Chain A
Amino acid sequence: MTRERALILVALLAILGAVGWSARPHDVTAAERVDRITSELRCVTCQGLSVKDSPAASARQMRDIVIQRVAEGRTDDEIRDEFRASFGDWVLLSPPVSSWLGLIWLVPLAALAAGLAVALGRIRPGVPSVAAPPARELAALRERVAREEALDLPQADGAE
């Protein structure tokens, strides 16, 4: 049993080591930067495809521009800004929070808040808003209850 535990421990350590090794910080290559930037840019002639994923000629030309800008030493933000200058924020698949399009990020939050509010409203036990009966009706009810209890008592005694 101890030997099996040791083997499991060694296997876990090996997995952790492999994960840590693959996730180690390393210099991002130009190709990785191009892939990252083009995956954030919208293909302008496609329906919901990124420049990276689209086979369209316009996407290929946009990718060539990104490759050239990376080779020129431009930063990711500078390259994104150049595309935004030409096509607006629309060209970014994830609109920046600071722009008007960024309001779209509020939609799921608002939907979640509305759903929670509705759910809480349904779950919370409501306080019955039954108006108290008038005094005369109340007195009649009490009298009736007392009469019925008086009738029930002998039967209950007899049942025992």
Chain B
Amino acid sequence: MPRWLRLTIVFGIGALVVVLMLSFRRDPHDIRTGTVGKPAAAFTLDRLDGNGKVALSDHAGKVVILNFWASWCIPCKEENPALVRVWERYRSSDVVLIGILYQDSLESARGYVRDNGVTWPTVTDEDGRVAFAYGVFGIPETYFIGPDGIIAGRHIGPIDEATLVAAIDGLRPKATR
């Protein structure tokens, strides 16, 4: 085999190893594609409990956590205790948690909310337009929107309390922490 070919193959394998190393270093839950770093898409959606609507613009200047979920989603149930604890911790502050129902029936979702201690505002996205605008791959997915209205990050899959707190505190202005 010619020397140049051996060098080319070695270089190719080396490049592949570098690419794989860089890829595996990243947190697979933290996908920085699509909408991250861009202004959060505005929405006004009906509340699941039927008491009016929730608009993202109502919470301008606050840290907003959007959590896409469904009652049939088992990982959503796994992460729910963490969401409950974080909501209890921040509900009286400048942090808003909004649950967005994704491809679910209203009856099942209302039962889930009642049985699992979901007291944060929850809205329905019946035609999936808001999920599309945010680039939701699947649920659960959680988006972190800073006071500037920019999507600072997203988490794919069930989220834990430490990740939620770290993301929220990283977005809140220092004076309010």
Contact = CB atoms under 8 A, between A and B. Distances in A.
Given A87-B137, A88-B135, A114-B9, A61 B128 contact: yes
A151 B1 CA distance: 45
- Interface size class, chain B: 20 to 34
Interface in B1-17: 1-2, 5, 8-9, 12
B106 to A, nearest CB: 15
B134 A64 contact: no
A88 B33 contact: yes
Contacts of B33: 87-88, 90
Is chain B's binding surface mostly helix, strand, loop or mixed? Answer: loop
Interface of B: 1-2, 5, 8-9, 12, 33-35, 38, 103, 127-129, 131-138
Contacts of B8: 114, 117
A117 B5 contact: yes
Interface of A: 44-45, 57-58, 61-62, 64-65, 85-88, 90, 110, 114, 117-118, 121
B42 to A, nearest CB: 14
28 contacts: A44-B136, A44-B138, A45-B137, A57-B103, A57-B128, A58-B103, A58-B131, A61-B127, A61-B128, A62-B128, A65-B132, A85-B34, A85-B35, A85-B38, A85-B135, A86-B34, A86-B132, A86-B133, A87-B33, A87-B137, A88-B33, A90-B33, A110-B12, A114-B8, A117-B2, A118-B1, A118-B5, A121-B1
